[in-house]
Chains A and B, each alone.
Chain A
Amino acid sequence: MTPLTWIRIILVAAFFGVLEILCRTRVIKPVTMIPPSEMVRELGALLASGSIYDDIRQTLAAVAIALVLAVVSGFPIGVVLHAVPRLRRAVDPLLATYYAVPFFVFYPVLVAIFGLSQWPVIVIAFMFAVVAMVISTLNGLDRIPRVLDKVARIHNMGAVETALRLKLPAAAPHLFTGLKLAVAYSFIGVIACEFIMAASGLGYAIAYAYNNFDNRTMYALMLFVLALVTTINMALHVWERRLLRRRVR
């Protein structure tokens, strides 16, 4: 591990250490926050009891479906917009303001359309994630070096071969960024939607615990969600590093 990683670990550890001390010495009162060590113990008990597995399964399934839909449709939309500059110019204002819309508002509309199922949550998370993928695809395609077109012509490559062997690899880092954003936004969409409105899932469990003044369960669940998302993001980060290193060689 590099020294930087060590500094980072020490910083994070110090942060939780200070938090632990503040909670133990009652500077932060237990009604506000329980000590991190208690959160871990509480989470262990919660996982052992198995009572949250249904919520976990439901949330992860919703995130996975939203993510797949966002990537599978976001990439082609980006390609089409890139191919038709006129269309792209027209939707540009929409892309730029997109993330200022509070999508959660559409939840009841979606419930009326899809009924009380997981689909309203999934659709909202999808709406949240897909545009990040579209924008990253556009960024990636914009930054393909012009010279690759000439390379393709010199080697007499067809359109498909050019796309697969030259353009796709050239745009890959940006596409990966899109994937990372889509993962993050799917999680944000699903959990926020569950938190505010839905009646099941991890986000709902946190809001439910909050409304019942059940701080111990609430902090255990918060720890679980934050640890889970951070782990997934870090895994993607490491994977991205590895891919980039291979490109340079």
Chain B
Amino acid sequence: MTDSWTPGAVDALRKKHDLPFVRTDEQGQVVEFNDRFRLIYGWDDSLVGETIGLILPPEFREQHHAGFSRFKLTETSKLVNHPLKLSTICVNGDEIRSEHFIVAEKSIEGGWSFAATLRPLEGPHAC
């Protein structure tokens, strides 16, 4: 719900250095990610400016795009502020089951920003 957007939610996630972190703009294009994300999932700077759908398995992309578009219209989502177990695609195509925790934040100018921490649940970095 809109009142569950906490100011500073994105920054709070960004500070969790032990977890992979990724942020997108309101178009769903990647704006930044941290070193942990780079290390575990293998993506490099070329991901910046691309759709975040790239790190989701193809079968989830429809739900992702539709959900993103829906959010822009209603500013509500059941996905945010809940741990979600989803697969994440690595740069080499491998899938790592991860726990996503997504937050959204509205800027003073009115634009939305989305961020997530991704806790790997399998593989050498599982935690």
Please indicate whether A and B come from the same complex rather than being unrelated chains.
no
Residues of B within 8 A of A (CB): none
